[in-house]
Structure 1
Amino acid sequence: MNQVEELGNGPVNKLIFKYSMPAIIGLIINAAYVMIDRAFIGNLPDHRGGLALSGIGATMPITTIVMAVAACIAFGSLAQISMALGQADKSKAKKVVGNALTISVISGLLITIFYYLFKDAIFNLIGISPEIYDYANDFISTLMFGTIFSILSFALPVLIRGDGSPNIASLIMLTGAVFNIVLDWIFLFSFGWGIKGAAVATIISQILVMLISLLYMNRTKSIIKPKMNDFKLNKIILSGIFSVGMVPMFTQLSISISQVISNFAFQNYGGVLYIGAMATISSITMLIMMVVSGINQGIMPILSYNVAQKNSERVNKTFFNSLKFASLFLVIAWIAIQFLSSQMVSIFSNDANLRAISANGLRLYNFLLPLVAFNSMVPMILSLIGKAKFATGSNILRQLIIYPVLIISLPIFLGNNGLWLSQPTSECLIFILNFILLKKFFVSNIK
C-alpha cells in the first residue's frame, strides 16, 4: 500500500498518529523558539525586558496578518493537493504547488512594500505608545524585511506533508528552529544586538527552512515537484486554494483586528505591562495549541482524501477520534496551567510585577481551554465539506464581535480580571454556535 492509498484504507488511528505527530513536533519546535525569543528579550538587563516584551506584544497584529496569508496559501494548497491525489491527478497537484509558490512570493512582496510605505499609519492604528515605540520599531521593521521568507518557510513544510513526507517536513522545521535558537543567543548576547538580533535570527532561520524545503521538492521522486509552466497562475487552481484557505486566513485576520482592540483595552485598563503579560500568556498558550493545530494539520490530508472519495465513515471516524485526542490533551494542559502558572511565566521576565500579572492572566485566560479543540476543528471540517462560509462566519463572529465586545465591557464589571475572562467567555459562546453548525451540516454533506 503506497502513501496515497493508505489515506483511504489504512487504520484511522494509526494514520492520525502518523500524520499528526510530525506536524505537532514541528509546530511545537517553532512555538518553542518563539518562546525562547521572548524569554531572551524579556530578560534583557537594566529592566528593559518588560518594555521590550510589551513592544513585541504590540506588534502581534502585524505578524498575525503575515501568518494569515501564509496559512491561507499553505492549508488551502494542502487540501487541494490531497484531493487531487485522491482523484489520481498528479498533474493538478503539481500545478497547485507551483501556484502556491508563485502567490507566496507575490504576497510577501506586496505586504513588505505596503508596510514600509505606511509604517507610521500602521503604528498609530494598532496603538503603539511612545513608551514602547523604539522596541516595537526595532523588532517589526527588521522582521518585515523577511516577509517573503516567512510565508514560504511556513507554507513549504506544509506542502511537503501533502507529498506524503510528514517526517521530512518536521525535520526541516526542527533544523530551522535549532538554528534560530543558536542565532538568538549569539545576536542578542554575544553581539549585543538586542531586540533587532531576535528578528535577524528569525529571518536567517526562515531562509534556511525555505532553501532546504526547495531542495527536497526538487528531488526526482517527489510527487509534487512542479514544472516551469506550473508556476503560471491559474484562476481555477487559485480559486480552489482560496476556497479552503480563506477559513484560516480570515480567522487570522480577524484575530489581528481583535489583537488591536485587545491592545487598546490592555493599555486603557491595565497599562503597558498588560501587553507584555499578554505576550507571555500567548506564548505559553501557543505552545499548548500547537498540539491541536498539529492534529488539525495532520488529519487534513486524511479528511481531504476521503471527502473526495465520499467515504463518510472514515471522515466521521477520523474527525471524532482526533477531537477526542485533542480534548484529552487540553484537559491535561488545563490542570498544569491552574497549578503551575507561576513557574511557567517565570522564564519570561525578571520583573516581579509582570510575573504576577502574567500568572493570574494565564489561569483566567485559559479557564475553558478544553473547549478550544472543538472550536478549532469544527471550522476546518466545515470548510472541507463545502461549508466554508459558515466556518468563516463563525470565526469572524467570534474575533470581530463577541471577543471585542467582551474585552471592552467585562473589565467595567470585573476589573482587570475581565481582560482575561473575555477569552473563556467568548470560547463558551462560540462553542454553542459551532455545535449547532456541526450537527446541521457535518454528516449529511459528505455522503
Structure 2
Amino acid sequence: MANKISSQDLGTKPIKKLLIKQSVPAAIGILVMSLNILVDTIFVGNWIGSIAIAAINVVLPVSFFIAALGMSIGVGGSSIISRALGANNKEKALKTFGNQITLTLLFTVAFACFGLLYVDDIIPAFGGKGAIFDPAKIYYKIVLYGVPFLGLCMMGNTAIRAEGKPKFAMYAMMIPSIGNLVLDYLFINVLDYGMAGAAWATTGSYMLCIGFIIWYFLSNKSELKIDASHLKLQKNVVSEIASLGFVTLARQAVVSITYLFMNNILYNLGGETSVTAYAIVGRMLMFALFPVFGITQGFLPIAGYNYGAENYSRVRKTINTAIGYATVLATTIFILLMVFPEQITRLFTSDVDVLKEAPNDMRWVFAMTPIIAVQLIGAAYFQAIGKAIPALLLTLTRQGFFFIPLILILPNFYGEMGVWMSFPISDILATVVTAFFLNREIRKTLVVKT
C-alpha cells in the first residue's frame, strides 16, 4: 500500500519529482497518441496516396472541434475536481464528475448529428475541394460516428489525471493509439478498405478507449464513485465547468478556424501540394512537441491542487520548474527539426512536389519553438487556478489575436511565404504578452499571499 498514489501527494511530494511523475506518463500518453496520428498519416500517404493525407487534414478541424467539447468539459471540470480534492470537498468533486458525463454525452451527440447532416457543405468550407472532396467525405462520415466516444475519452482522461492517477491517464491514451495502428494495418493494408478502412480504424480505437475508462471508474482504482443523482445537471456546477472549459473549447475552435483558413488559403496559392505539405507539418506540430505538452498536463493538477490548498509557495515553484523543463525540451526539439526536415518529410510521401515544399515550411513553423514554454505554462496556470477570463484570453492570444490576422494579411504582400512567416511572428508576440500577464499575476497573488 506504500506505493499507492493519492491526490494528497500533489500537496506534499517534492515539486521536481512530482512534476516528473505527473508529466512523464502524460508525455508518454501524448507521444503514443501523436505517434498514432503520425504513423496513421504515413500509412495513408504510402498505402493510399498523398491526396489522402490532404483529405484527412480537411476533416481534422471538424472532428477536433466536436471532440474538443469532451476535452473542454473534462479540463473545466478537472480544474474544479483538483481544487475540490485539495480543499477536502469530495462531494463537490463527485457532482462535478457526474455533470461532466451528462454534458459530454449531450453535446457530442448533438454536434455529431449536425456535422453529418451538413456534410456536403462543411467539407468544401474546410478546403475539401477538387480531388480532395471524395476521400475527405468518406473519412469524415465514418469518423463522426465515433466522436461521442472520443468526447467521453477526453473527458474521462482529464478526470483521471485530476485525482492524481497519471499512469492510468497514460494507459487511457495509449490503448486507442495502439489499437488504431493495428486496425489501420488490418483495414488498409490487409483488407484494402482504403479511406473507409482508415476511418473505421480511428472510430474503433475510440471504442477501445472508452471501454478502458469505464473499467477504471467502476474499479477500486478511482476515488470518484458517483451515483445517479450526480448525473443530474446542476446550474452552479455546469456554470463553473462551462466558464473554465470554455477556454479549452475556444482554443480548439480557433484551431479549427485556423485549419479552415490555412487549407483554403494554401489551396488557392499552391493547390493540393501546399495543402498536403501543411498536413505533414501539422502532424509534426502534434507529434514533436509531445514532451512539452506532457509538462503542461503534469503541471495542471499540481498547480490546481496547491492553489486550492492555499499553498502558494508550491504553486510558484511549480510554475518555475515547469517552464524550465519545458524550455529545455522545446529547444532540443527545435534543433532536431531544423537539421532533419527533409528526412522527416520522406517518411510521409515520395511526391516530388511535396518533398520540395514541406521541409522549408517546417523550418518556418518551428522557428520559435524554444520560447513556447512560457505561452503554454502561462495559459495553463490561469486555467488550473480557476481564473477563466485570463486563461481564455491568453489561450487565444497566439492563434486568435495574432496568427489568423497575420495569415490573412501577409500573403497579400509575400504570397505563400507570408503564410509561413506568420508562425514565428505570432509565437514571439504571444510569448511577450503571456510573460507580462503571468509575471504580474505571480507578483500580485503568489508573493503577497505566501
**TM-score under structure 2 length normalisation:** 0.95
Superposed, 1:383-398 pairs within 5 Å as 383-398=383-398
Deviations 1:306-356 (A, max 9, x none): 111221110010011011101110100000001011111111112121122
CA apart distance, 1:125: 2.6
Within 2, Cα distance between the matches of 1:124 and 1:406?
A: 23
Amino acid at match of 2:266: F
The count of aligned residue pairs is 444
CA apart distance, 1:386: 4.5
Superposed, 1:403-414 pairs within 5 Å as 403-414=403-414
Within 2, Cα distance between the matches of 1:74 and 1:415?
A: 40
Asked whether the equivalents of residues 80 and 386 of structure 2 are also in contact (C-alpha less than 8 Å), the reply is: no
Within 2, Cα distance between the matches of 1:92 and 1:386?
A: 15
Query: Aligned match of 1:12 in 9, 12, 15?
Result: 15
Name the stretch that deviates more: 416-425 or 334-343. Answer: 416-425
Superposed, 1:94-133 pairs within 5 Å as 94-133=94-133
Amino acid at match of 2:35: A
Asked whether the equivalents of residues 78 and 162 of structure 2 are also in contact (C-alpha less than 8 Å), the reply is: yes
CA apart distance, 1:405: 2.3
Where does residue 91 of structure 1 map in the other structure? 91
Asked whether the equivalents of residues 301 and 384 of structure 2 are also in contact (C-alpha less than 8 Å), the reply is: no
Asked whether the equivalents of residues 269 and 411 of structure 1 are also in contact (C-alpha less than 8 Å), the reply is: no
Within 2, Cα distance between the matches of 1:418 and 1:294?
A: 31
Deviations 1:405-435 (A, max 9, x none): 2213323433422221211111111112112
Where does residue 67 of structure 1 map in the other structure? 67
Where does residue 175 of structure 1 map in the other structure? 175
The percent identity for this pair of structures is: 29
Where does residue 437 of structure 2 map in the other structure? 437
Within 1, Cα distance between the matches of 2:21 and 2:424?
A: 32
Within 2, Cα distance between the matches of 1:96 and 1:209?
A: 22
Within 2, Cα distance between the matches of 1:90 and 1:383?
A: 20
Asked whether the equivalents of residues 367 and 424 of structure 1 are also in contact (C-alpha less than 8 Å), the reply is: yes
Within 2, Cα distance between the matches of 1:384 and 1:158?
A: 12
Within 2, Cα distance between the matches of 1:234 and 1:158?
A: 20
Deviations 1:199-222 (A, max 9, x none): 111111111110111111111352
CA apart distance, 1:235: 1.5
Amino acid at match of 2:116: Y
Where does residue 144 of structure 1 map in the other structure? 144
Query: Aligned match of 2:40 in 37, 42, 54?
Result: 37
Amino acid at match of 1:280: I
CA apart distance, 1:387: 3.5
Where does residue 27 of structure 2 map in the other structure? 24
Where does residue 6 of structure 2 map in the other structure? 3
Amino acid at match of 1:206: Y
Within 1, Cα distance between the matches of 2:139 and 2:322?
A: 37
Within 1, Cα distance between the matches of 2:233 and 2:299?
A: 28
**TM-score under structure 1 length normalisation:** 0.95
Asked whether the equivalents of residues 53 and 279 of structure 1 are also in contact (C-alpha less than 8 Å), the reply is: yes
Within 2, Cα distance between the matches of 1:325 and 1:356?
A: 34
Within 2, Cα distance between the matches of 1:416 and 1:355?
A: 16
Within 1, Cα distance between the matches of 2:143 and 2:377?
A: 31
User: What secondary structure does 1:271 align onto?
Assistant: helix
| Aligned-pair Cα RMSD in Å | 1.7
CA apart distance, 1:35: 0.8
Within 2, Cα distance between the matches of 1:287 and 1:162?
A: 24
Question: Structure 1 residue runs of 4+, over 4 Å off?
Answer: none
Name the stretch that deviates more: 257-266 or 388-397. Answer: 388-397
Where does residue 317 of structure 1 map in the other structure? 317
Asked whether the equivalents of residues 76 and 240 of structure 2 are also in contact (C-alpha less than 8 Å), the reply is: yes
Superposed, 1:42-441 pairs within 5 Å as 42-44=45-47, 49-220=49-220, 222-441=222-441
Within 1, Cα distance between the matches of 2:222 and 2:401?
A: 44
444 and 116 in structure 1: CA distance in 2 versus 1, 3 angstrom threshold:
same
Structure 2, unaligned runs of 5 or more: none
Within 2, Cα distance between the matches of 1:233 and 1:355?
A: 52
Asked whether the equivalents of residues 67 and 148 of structure 2 are also in contact (C-alpha less than 8 Å), the reply is: no
CA apart distance, 1:182: 0.7
